[in-house]
């Protein structure tokens, strides 16, 4: 009996032991349970599947296998921090927690511990300033870029000007949801539109008040910064009041197949912005099918492949792997350290040619990162929901955010952070 | 009529409808508390579990498909048939009865005569277990629930109010259906408890456990009965809320909307759950309408609790709750 117990303990220790130091450890702080699981699952699957593809097809990155220990956060900030603490001593290189709340808690920790925090399209927007945020990267676009791109798109839709128009912002009443307010207010001064703010409390299952206001005030356009059930209810309420779907635009976290599904055919025309392509037509999916899905090595059931959030998880994994590859080339070592990976992120040069080599032509915009620029090109593309075809169709070309305005806002916010935390500027 | 007054009337009408939706959730809490003194923390999760099961049965989904596939290497997801909505609802109701029997056998039976806090803690455990079990059984993706309920603006009402008042009111068809269902449900529950043998037994247990036992009423049967009815009420709430947002794990959070209703209406009164829901629904919507723009909006969640607390100051047992008198 004792022997059996000892064997079990030994097996358990072996199963949970830290990965060998030569492996590239990229923890996946995911959420497959809780109220936001429906969004967390495809993202986590896309992330894990891309890393599995690299392992199965290429033998890892630069000959080193990638290990992706998964830790469940349930989109809970405390659990996210616990996951970080539990995995950081296992040789972790990069964290990507898919939560703005967790990101804010991890920024001081990764700065002290020297780990890279990669938050594409979420987290602290002013982390785009590498002079202040040495360990945080959020390229290719941030919340403020998103707001600016949506406004540009709407201006184009309105015939070139938004002067005299009304725009309502329906937002998650949290740090994340409030992010675009300042940008939209500044843009309102510039473009001449009237901005109406409509906060929705977590989780957002009841939004009657907000949509009655929209029905009364008849804004020309509605922008949404929501997450989880808030998105589905908002789209359903917009359908209920017969708000024109093509004038309703969501940020990238309000634009997945999950969000439009409950409203069915009536969600047709709902528009969202994204900083990457979607759909399973990219050549990389041939390999994904062969080496991962059909081989039974997929992280999920394989039914999410090519969806918007799966694509986003895959995008994050692709950027991280390219940054690691850059670090390996720069330092001439396959087993890189977190500091070297930071260098890789700061010197990432993702070209269109490289994206084509990766089987992702036109999937994203090229990125040329620098020590100071952790924010990337700040561009995005609009997609419109085709309810009959159950797919997102491109509704615009790549649109560049208002760099002049966003850069100034980033500089202001990061300077405030630097003053508050006594952070000396770098990259000078 | 001034525009502001018309809008306020529209908000009031929608507040009443929203209140009915809250009441549907609160009813489940009241039923269990009334019969057994247990504050059932898992009532929101019961609604989620019921809705998940309903969609699963309706869509012919294979339960535990992920688990089966992972263990056997198969790729089964669906049986390949669809079940009509009404039959699926009946089958789900049976599942909820089965769940009530299991809960009684595995949990409640072992906790007879324990302190209420112990039973409350047990329902917390049940909530987490059921949430995980529902996930493993049916998957965590968002499911579209369609049992044929109408949704969207009621055009007749819009047209009538437009002609009469010059402004067409918005009222959601789903909310109207929810109101009708809630009225039917409360009537049926009242008739059941007043005129059926089991209903009278249930009331006897609610009044005095010991006395009920002494006249031969089976406490275990009553518990199964009341948990089955609460499961059915949870199914109704799950259908109404799930039709709006899709069936997903955040559905369990609708319980948060029921708490101020219970505080206000009282934990032991079925009419209290309805009236409490209506007061909370109208109160939070009107406050958001008048005060929201002045203080930044998003007031509904916290205002509902403030309103309930104000009522508690004057009637600690809630509007319809039983007054507790302890004599020394």
Domain architecture of chain A: domains with CATH: 19-141+283-377+412-421 (3.40.50.2300), 143-274 (3.40.50.2300)
Average pLDDT over residues A96-111: 96
| B289: nearest CA partner in chain A | A209
Q: At what angle do helices B3-36 and B197-207 cross, to 10 degrees?
A: 80
B chain contacts of residue A41, beta-carbon cutoff 8 Å: 140-141
Name residue A222's beta-bridge partners: A168, A248
| Contact: A236, B244; criterion CB under 8 Å | yes
Residue A294 touches chain B, beta carbons under 8 Å: no
Q: Which pLDDT score is estimated for A4?
A: 44
Q: Which pLDDT score is estimated for B325?
A: 65
HSE at residue A202, side-chain half, CA atoms within 13 A, is 9
CA distance A133 to chain B (A): 31
B chain contacts of residue A178, beta-carbon cutoff 8 Å: none
B chain contacts of residue A254, beta-carbon cutoff 8 Å: none
| A217: nearest CA partner in chain B | B7
Distance of CA B29 to the CA centre of its chain: 8
Q: Which pLDDT score is estimated for A122?
A: 96
Dihedral angle over CA of A414, A418, A424, A426, nearest 10: -10
A chain contacts of residue B249, beta-carbon cutoff 8 Å: 33-35, 37-38
B chain contacts of residue A198, beta-carbon cutoff 8 Å: 297
User: How would residue A16 be classed by pLDDT, with cut points 50, 70 and 90?
Assistant: very low
- CB of B228 closer than 8 Å to CB of B28: no
| Contact: A33, B140; criterion CB under 8 Å | yes
Comparing CB atoms, the residue among A201, A208, A229 nearest residue B248 is A229
Q: Does the pLDDT of residue A10 top 60, yes or no? A: no
B chain contacts of residue A33, beta-carbon cutoff 8 Å: 131-132, 135, 140, 249
Comparing CB atoms, the residue among B145, B153, B298 nearest residue A241 is B153
| Contact: B245, A197; criterion CB under 8 Å | no
A chain contacts of residue B135, beta-carbon cutoff 8 Å: 33, 37
Name residue A224's beta-bridge partners: A170, A250
| Contact: A201, B300; criterion CB under 8 Å | yes
Look at A18 and B199; give whichever has higher pLDDT. Answer: B199
Name residue A380's beta-bridge partners: A399
pLDDT in tens, A125-148: 999 999 999 999 999 999 999 999
Could you give the ipTM of this predicted complex? Answer: 0.90
Residues of chain B with pLDDT under 70: 1, 323-328
Comparing CB atoms, the residue among B132, B145, B285 nearest residue A208 is B285
Comparing CB atoms, the residue among A202, A206, A240 nearest residue B153 is A240
pLDDT in tens, A317-374: 999 999 999 999 999 999 999 999 999 999 999 999 999 999 999 999 999 999 999 9
Q: Which pLDDT score is estimated for B324?
A: 65
In chain B, the DSSP E strands lie at: none
Q: Which pLDDT score is estimated for B98?
A: 97
CA distance B144 to chain A (A): 5
Q: Which pLDDT score is estimated for B321?
A: 72
| B303: nearest CA partner in chain A | A201
Average pLDDT over residues A9-30: 64
Comparing CB atoms, the residue among B18, B66, B132 nearest residue A206 is B18
Q: At what angle do helices B173-195 and B219-245 cross, to 10 degrees?
A: 170
| Closest C-alpha among B155, B173, B284, B223 to residue A236 | B173
pTM: 0.91
Q: Which pLDDT score is estimated for A5?
A: 45
Q: Which pLDDT score is estimated for B326?
A: 62
Average pLDDT over residues A398-417: 96
CA distance A426 to chain B (A): 38
- CB of B100 closer than 8 Å to CB of B227: yes
CA distance B71 to chain A (A): 12
| Contact: B135, A37; criterion CB under 8 Å | yes
Name residue A391's beta-bridge partners: A386
Q: Is the omega angle on the peptide bond into residue B147 within 30 degrees of 0, that is, cis?
A: no
């Amino acid at each position: 009996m004792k022997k059996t117990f000892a064997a079990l303990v030994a097996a358990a220790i072996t199963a949970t032991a830290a990965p060998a130091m030569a492996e590239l450890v990229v923890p996946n702080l995911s959420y497959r349970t809780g109220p936001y699981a429906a969004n967390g699952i495809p993202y986590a699957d896309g992330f894990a599947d891309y890393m599995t593809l690299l392992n199965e097809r290429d033998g890892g990155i630069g000959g080193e296998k990638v290990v992706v220990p998964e830790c469940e956060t349930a989109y809970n900030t405390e659990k996210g921090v616990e996951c970080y603490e539990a995995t950081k001593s296992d040789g972790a290189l990069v964290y990507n927690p898919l939560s703005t709340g967790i990101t804010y808690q991890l920024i001081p920790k990764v700065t002290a511990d020297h780990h890279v925090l990669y938050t594409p399209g979420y987290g602290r927007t002013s982390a785009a300033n590498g002079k202040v945020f040495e360990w945080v990267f959020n390229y290719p676009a941030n919340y403020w870029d998103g707001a600016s791109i949506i406004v540009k798109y709407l201006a184009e839709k309105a015939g070139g000007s938004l002067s005299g128009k009304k725009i309502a912002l329906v937002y998650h009443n949290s740090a994340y949801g409030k992010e675009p307010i300042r940008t939209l207010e500044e843009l309102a001064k510039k473009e001449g539109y009237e901005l109406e703010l409509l906060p929705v409390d977590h989780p957002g299952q009841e939004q009657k008040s907000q949509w009655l206001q929209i029905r009364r005030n008849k804004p020309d356009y509605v922008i949404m910064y929501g997450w989880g059930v808030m998105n589905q209810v908002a789209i359903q309420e917009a359908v209920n009041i017969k708000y024109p779907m093509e004038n309703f635009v969501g940020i990238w976290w309000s634009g997945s197949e999950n969000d439009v599904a409950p409203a069915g055919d009536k969600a047709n025309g709902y528009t969202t912005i994204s900083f990457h392509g979607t759909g399973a037509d990219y050549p990389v999916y041939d390999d994904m099918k062969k080496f991962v899905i059909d081989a039974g090595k997929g992280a999920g059931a394989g039914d999410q492949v090519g969806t918007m959030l799966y694509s986003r998880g895959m995008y994050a994994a692709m950027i991280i792997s390219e940054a690691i590859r850059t670090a390996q080339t720069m330092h001439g070592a396959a087993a890189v350290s977190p500091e070297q990976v930071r260098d890789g992120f700061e010197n990432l040069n993702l070209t269109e040619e490289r994206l084509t080599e990766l089987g992702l032509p036109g999937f994203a915009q090229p990125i040329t990162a620098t020590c100071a620029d952790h924010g990337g090109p700040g561009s995005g593309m609009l997609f419109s929901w085709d309810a009959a075809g159950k797919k997102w169709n491109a509704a615009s070309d790549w649109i560049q955010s208002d760099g002049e305005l966003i850069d100034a806002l980033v500089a202001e916010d990061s300077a405030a952070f630097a003053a508050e935390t006594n952070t000396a500027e770098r990259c000078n | 009529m001034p525009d502001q007054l018309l809008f306020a009337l529209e908000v009031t009408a929608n507040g009443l409808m929203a209140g009915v939706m809250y009441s549907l959730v609160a009813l489940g809490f009241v039923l269990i508390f009334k019969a057994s003194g247990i504050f059932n923390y898992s009532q929101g999760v019961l609604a989620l579990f019921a809705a998940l099961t309903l969609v699963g049965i309706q869509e012919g989904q294979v339960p535990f498909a992920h688990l089966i596939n992972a263990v056997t290497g198969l790729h089964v997801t669906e049986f390949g048939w669809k079940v009509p909505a009404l039959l699926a609802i009946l089958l789900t109701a049976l599942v909820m009865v089965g769940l009530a029997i299991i809960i009684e056998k595995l949990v409640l039976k072992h906790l007879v005569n324990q302190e209420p806090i112990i039973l409350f803690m047990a329902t917390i455990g049940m909530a987490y277990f059921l949430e995980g079990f529902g996930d493993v059984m049916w998957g965590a993706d968002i499911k579209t629930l369609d049992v044929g309920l109408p949704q969207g603006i009621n055009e007749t009402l819009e047209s009538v109010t437009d002609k009469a008042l010059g402004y067409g009111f918005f009222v959601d068809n789903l909310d109207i259906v929810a109101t009708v269902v809630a009225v039917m449900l409360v009537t049926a529950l009242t008739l059941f408890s007043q005129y059926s043998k089991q209903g009278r037994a249930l009331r006897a247990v609610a009044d005095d456990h010991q006395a009920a036992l002494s006249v031969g009423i089976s406490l275990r049967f009553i518990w199964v009965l009341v948990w089955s009815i609460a499961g059915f009420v949870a199914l109704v709430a799950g259908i109404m809320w799930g039709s709006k947002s899709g069936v997903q794990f955040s559905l369990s959070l609708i319980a948060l909307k029921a708490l101020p209703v219970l505080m206000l209406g009282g934990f032991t009164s079925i009419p209290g759950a309805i009236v409490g829901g209506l007061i909370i629904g109208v109160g939070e919507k009107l406050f958001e309408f008048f005060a929201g723009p002045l203080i930044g909006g998003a007031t509904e969640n916290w205002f509902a609790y403030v309103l309930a607390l104000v009522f508690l100051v004057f009637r600690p047992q809630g509007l319809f709750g039983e007054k507790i008198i302890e004599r020394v």
